[in-house]
Amino acid sequence: MGDRVWMSLTCLKKDRKLFENMGFTQVEGSGDTWIELVDESANYAHYDELRKVKAPFVAHHYEGCEYGGVTYACDGKSIKEWAMDHEGFEIVYMSSVDLKTGILRKDVIREYRKFLNTRKRARKLLGLQEDK
């Protein structure tokens, strides 16, 4: 049975089969080098399968019954993820704030920078425009 969510993923056209084998089928858009695929019922957001992929991609999914929305970035070497809300905005949980100072913890800032750097590399490898 599982917990299924709608999920979007952008990968290189040459890597399309890797993701189609997981269940991504619908083509939402494409460019010279990339293609955007959708899985309308991704079981547990393909969490374990995506960690085995050694190809660049960016992806996101909305909330499931057992977990929140997540945005992913993989540069072909490492995969990073960050929480997002139901509108697609990246979020920081209050548990990431030092309650004494009211300042975001340094380890959280470090992890977010790692996510952003991985996403920047992935988008470049995919031939996507730079994030603003």
DSSP state of 53: -
What pLDDT is stored for residue 2 in this prediction? Answer: 67
Q: Using CA atoms, how far apart are residues 128 and 45, in angstroms rounded to an integer?
A: 23
Distances (CA, A) of 19 to 4, 53, 99, 107: 16, 9, 42, 32
pTM, full prediction: 0.89
Going by their DSSP bridges, the two strands 69-75 and 34-43 should be labelled as unpaired
Q: pLDDT (tens digit, 9 = 90+) per residue, 67-85?
A: 788 999 999 999 999 999 8
